[in-house]
Amino acid sequence: MTYIKFGPFRQMESNSNVMDKLFSEHSQSFNYDSGYNPRTEVSEDENAYFVDVEIPGVKKEDVKITLHNNVLSISGEKKPAENNKNKAYFRNERNYGSFSRSYTFSEKVNPDSTEAKFEYGVLSVKIEKLKKTNTERVIEIK
């Protein structure tokens, strides 16, 4: 009979190996290079919604912003620099390509007062909410 010294972390080590194997086998089926997908933050206060999109390396001329029926759509393209086309890369972790993001707002917004600015690689869009008006009215009987 073989005696095995008790180790409280032996089972956890075994579970870790199983999980590593599971994810390494299946991670190859995911396509991580599916284009460019910028990170965003969407927030609000009582008067407006704020959308910040990180798009470093994108020219503002390559970005289109539309607001229609309470849906803000931002699309564009991140292109590689012209001087990078003839280089042989050892490692490239940057993504390029077209992107499109849409955000639907629950409250009515005012498209006429929407503002956008682009600085330091961050596109910031401010969408003002429409002021709520009292829709109830007392009607006098004549």
Tens of pLDDT, residues 15-73: 666 666 666 554 444 444 456 889 999 999 999 999 999 999 899 899 999 999 899 99
**Interstrand relation of 115-119 and 97-104 (parallel, antiparallel or unpaired):** unpaired
Nearest to 123 by CA among 49, 51, 75: 51
**How many Å apart are CA 40 and CA 97, to the nearest integer?**
17
Integer CA distances (angstroms), 97 to 62, 116, 133, in order: 11, 22, 43
Q: Do 116 and 139 touch, CB atoms closer than 8 A?
A: no
Averaged pLDDT, 64-88 = 86
What CATH architecture does domain 36-128 belong to?
Sandwich (2.60)
Give the domain ranges of the chain: 36-128
Looking at per-residue pLDDT, the higher value among 24 and 75 belongs to: 75
Alpha helices by DSSP H, listed for the chain, are 10-26
Q: SS3 for 85? A: coil
pTM above 0.95, yes or no: no
pLDDT tens by residue, 89-124: 888 788 888 999 999 998 889 888 899 999 999 999
Q: Do 82 and 57 touch, CB atoms closer than 8 A?
A: no
